[in-house]
Structure 1
Amino acid sequence: MLALKETEVERLKADIGTLRKGTLTPELLQNSAMPQMFAYSTGFTYERFNHLCTIFGIPNDPCATQINVPLKYQRNDWQVVEMPLRSQLLFVLMKLRNNEDLKNLAFRFSITVQSASNLFNSWIHYMLDVLGAIPIWPHRDVIMENMPDTYKTDPSTFAILDCTELKMERPTSLVLQSQSYSSYKSTNTLKSLVACDPRGAVIFSSALFTGSMSDKEIVRESGLIPLPEKQIEIGYLQKGDGLMADKGFLIEDDIKSVGLQLNLPPFARSKRQMPSGDVLTTKRIAKHRVHVERAIAKIKKFKMVSDRIPNTRLGNISQIWYVVSVFSNFQPHILKQ
């Protein structure tokens, strides 16, 4: 009976192998007759995809399998183990970019739905380990050297802050329903704090918090405050350097406590018309703050975080959010020098 089962498994493997002769590969997608199909499916050019392969330790070999990268699956899944690593990365990028249904992706890559789920979750953990080890806050000299001319009216401001919300399914827990309800969006959400440099590159992306939390609470819980303090210690920032935010960020005392300045739009002092100097300052800051909004919009082009997040995805959505935040830096900058 055992021998019969082994025979059936070998026959199934052979059938899968036959199917994989026509399965989706990076090269097949790149050579598609449809223009820009690779970029549409993944968010990256084929050349940038190869660069990502290098970052994640994938050899330039279409047949390289899981043995080359320390991926951990929920079980000994031979379908995934035997799947070429370049195809695995392609699978994950397609899921992140267009949030394709796992059943559809499983069919296109000739694996089961369970294997597809194992593959995706394992890669998210691995990507977080690799990308989390890459420092994304540049030295102030690097920021100044690449600062766009339009930003040089605020040469000592090295980061722009903003919070963003991701819509989620209504939780079954009444407590979580209350905690995640956003009065601003009138629905249940998750919130993250994002900081970008003057070019619009993401240099900080927090974990996701419940939608009822204020911006001030998120700043304090996100770990942002100790980060600039550490950057000052290692020379990446200097005391007196500035961060920019909207006037809803009531964190000026927190920022000053680490030796930095917080540049906010002026508050209206009375019901009278705002002084002309304050109007110009407000316009200047608004012109720069739009870059962090554009940076967030670039992250949300990965539909897995812009579509409404199901409750079944809450276990690793913070990891997914960080991964796509860093991935946005591998795409063209919002502003050039």
Structure 2
Amino acid sequence: ILPTPTPTIDHAYSVRISDSYESKDQACQTILTGDDIDRLISLEKKQRCSFEGGSEVLDEAEPKVKYWSGKQSTEDVNYQSVDRCKSGPPRKLSKFNEYILTLMKLRLAILSFVLGDLFGVSESRVSQIFTTWINLMHMVLTPCIKWPSRRNIKKYMPRSFQTSFPKTTGIIDCTEMFIQKPKSPTAQSRTYSTYKSHNTFKCLVCITPSGAFSFISDLWGGNTSDRYITEHSGFLDSIRPGDEIMADRGFTIRDLLTDRRATLVIPPFTKKCKWGKGKRLSAADVVKTKSIAKHRIHVERSIRRLKLFRMLSQVMDIKFKPLANQMVKVSGFICNLDKPLVTK
């Protein structure tokens, strides 16, 4: 019977330290001799040389493997720390042209492929530019829609308010924007407006007596009541003691404003007649209703100015739902840059 040959060792790092080397155990410690330590160091050097040699071969065969080298890859990605341009394809449009493209999309609701033909970019690039810029404009411009101080309100208050409603600090109303019918039955029920007989988004707006937007809430489903939006949109956080808010008859929020020591001005409700059946307004109530309606109409004019942005006035595609809040608030800020709506 032939003796079994000793298996050959394929890799240097598989070499095992022989049991013949002297070692002593005391308690839980192992004492190695100097020769053992020298042998381990030489073995580690051989393993490192073999690994580095293999990586060099791979680097020559495929440059992309250099990503795994670590140090150089982090230096390449950190382009912001040095004077170098961003990696990737060059920008096809200047920042100003991208800004103009966003405003054209928001104001005129031009289709993306038409804007792509006008600016010489693809349809997907138009969508990317609009999404990026509308989010940037929302982040920068929305904080500029502020509740003004009472001193500034009185400074720019029209003469008609000074004589009839001198304490008025805001006029509120809710507006709705048509949207495409969602596929989900739950979303359909939450966005269906019985007032408009359509699926809508709804938001609360407040203007100053001069017609500038001082508050624009986030969008809610069209099925949400005006009182619920007023209570949960953050509008009440801006109310200060002594403020006077003008609203339509449907805003039953007198108790909410009373808790903040503010006053609600709405047209009077009809009362039961003493001389017959039904409900009617007295002569004094008719005069008061006309006076309130004459001044409250300015919030409708401000909403009309907001709806001149066709992305808000036409039926909104459901794919723009993540950008709907941004579009409304950016449009409201741009409206504030226009001339005062009420001057007399």
Unaligned runs of 5+ in 1: 1-66, 68-74, 233-238
CA distance in 2, matches of 1:265, 1:103: 49
Contact 1:191 1:209 in 2 (8 A): yes
Using the TM superposition, give the Cα deviation of residue 220 of structure 1 relative to its aligned residue in structure 2, in angstroms.
1.3
CA distance in 1, matches of 2:96, 2:154: 37
Contact 1:199 1:333 in 2 (8 A): yes
The letter for the 2-side match of 1:266 is P
Identity within the alignment, % = 34
The letter for the 1-side match of 2:187 is L
Contact 1:105 1:116 in 2 (8 A): yes
Unaligned runs of 5+ in 2: 1-79, 81-85, 273-277
CA distance in 2, matches of 1:97, 1:82: 23
Q: CA 1:269 to 1:131, structure 2 compared with 1: closer, same or farther past 3 Å?
A: same
The letter for the 2-side match of 1:84 is S
* SS class of match (1:170): coil
Equivalenced residues, count: 254
**Residue 269 of structure 2 corresponds to which residue in structure 1?**
267
* SS class of match (1:136): coil
Matched, 1:311 2:321: no
CA distance in 1, matches of 2:87, 2:304: 38
Aligned residue among 154, 177, 180 for 1:169: 180
Using the TM superposition, give the Cα deviation of residue 87 of structure 1 relative to its aligned residue in structure 2, in angstroms.
1.1
**Residue 255 of structure 2 corresponds to which residue in structure 1?**
253
**Residue 133 of structure 2 corresponds to which residue in structure 1?**
123
CA distance in 2, matches of 1:315, 1:87: 24
**Residue 16 of structure 1 corresponds to which residue in structure 2?**
none
CA distance in 1, matches of 2:88, 2:258: 52
* SS class of match (1:225): helix
Using the TM superposition, give the Cα deviation of residue 149 of structure 1 relative to its aligned residue in structure 2, in angstroms.
1.0
Contact 1:77 1:115 in 2 (8 A): no
Question: How big is the alpha-carbon RMSD for the aligned residues of Structure 1 and Structure 2?
Answer: 1.7
The letter for the 2-side match of 1:259 is R
CA distance in 2, matches of 1:258, 1:110: 55
Aligned residue among 167, 183, 198 for 2:209: 198
Q: CA 1:304 to 1:243, structure 2 compared with 1: closer, same or farther past 3 Å?
A: same
The letter for the 1-side match of 2:246 is M
Output the TM-score relative to the length of structure 2.
0.71
* SS class of match (1:191): strand
* SS class of match (1:166): strand
Using the TM superposition, give the Cα deviation of residue 174 of structure 1 relative to its aligned residue in structure 2, in angstroms.
0.7
**Residue 145 of structure 1 corresponds to which residue in structure 2?**
155
Which residues in structure 2 correspond to 1:169-188 (within 5 Å)?
A: 169-188=180-199
CA distance in 1, matches of 2:247, 2:98: 39
Matched, 1:276 2:283: yes
Structure 1 ranges of 4+ moved more than 3 A: 75-79
Q: CA 1:286 to 1:128, structure 2 compared with 1: closer, same or farther past 3 Å?
A: same
CA distance in 2, matches of 1:77, 1:187: 45
